[in-house]
Amino acid sequence: MTPQTIYENALEKAKSAFEESNIFKKQKSENTNWGLSICATPIQIGKPIIIGINWGGGNSNSFDFQKGMPSKECFLKDYSNGDYTFLKKSQNFIREFLGLDIEKAEFNYTNLCFFRSPISKDLVYKDYQDCLPIFESLVKEINPPWILSLGNSNITILKPQIKEFKEPIKTAGTNHFAYIEKLWDYNFYCVPHPNARKLSNAVRYEIWKNVFPGK
């Protein structure tokens, strides 16, 4: 399957799921339109996947469905203009511990939930469950060497999908956890969101070093 076909199939499935979702009902009742997106980068088969929790909506009440698969140039333009600040805050760690340069866009970026909302608290568990089969299909079609979750909120949704869930990694001096798991047989790493409270760069470095020892 080509990247374009993978993208189009995911978009159509997400649109169908959206029409049955809790967040769609919430939008209808509040006369808003937040839409959905599949990815911020083009689909790149065999490349790593980095995920967040869901697409933000800021203060706007009007977004549309994603029009088409974005290009690397489109992503990098948004990135240089200040979008994806959580990626920028993590780029040095990603480069050091995973050997990936965010500014080359040689990876896939998406979110566990494809539905857009101003804040993640607008979503309920069912919204994530509605997207999970589409996300799983997307992962398997991309076939990445690894998946990195920036934010531990995803663990709540993904834990039932992990056959042999291991104990979280605890770093001395912090209450934040990290995870090394196998998700659908893919290497899966989960670290706290860079905007997590009371998480200095020094503590974040220790967390990443515990997740990727020897790097």
Residue 146 host element (H or E) = strand 146-150
pLDDT, tens digit (0-9, with 9 covering 90-100), for 3-22? 999 999 999 999 999 988 88
Sequence-distant (≥ 6) Cβ neighbours of residue 83 within 8 angstroms: none
Residue with more model confidence, 177 or 61: 177
Question: Per-domain residue ranges for the chain?
Answer: 3-211
| Contact (CB, 8 A) for 21 and 54 | no
Average pLDDT (96-115) is: 94
Predicted confidence at residue 22, as pLDDT, reads 86
- The b/e string for 84-103 (b: 16+ C-beta within 10 A; e otherwise) is beebeebbebbeebbebebe
Domain 3-211: CATH superfamily, name plus number: Uracil-DNA glycosylase-like domain (3.40.470.10)
Nearest by Cα to 55 from 77, 79, 89, 83: 83
pTM of the model: 0.92
Does 58 score more than 60 pLDDT?
A: no
| Contact (CB, 8 A) for 106 and 49 | no
Average pLDDT (60-84) is: 85
Amino acid at 121: K
Does 104 score more than 90 pLDDT?
A: yes
Q: How far apart are CA 87 and CA 81, in angstroms?
A: 13
pLDDT, tens digit (0-9, with 9 covering 90-100), for 38-47? 999 999 999 9
What is the four-CA torsion angle of 107, 108, 109, 112, rounded to 10 degrees?
-140
CA 179 distance to own-chain centroid: 15
Nearest by Cα to 51 from 126, 150, 143, 120: 150
Average pLDDT (97-121) is: 91
Does 64 score more than 90 pLDDT?
A: no
* pLDDT class of 175 with cuts at 50, 70, 90: confident
Predicted confidence at residue 9, as pLDDT, reads 96
* pLDDT class of 59 with cuts at 50, 70, 90: low
Mean pLDDT of the chain: 89
pLDDT, tens digit (0-9, with 9 covering 90-100), for 156-171? 899 999 999 988 888 8
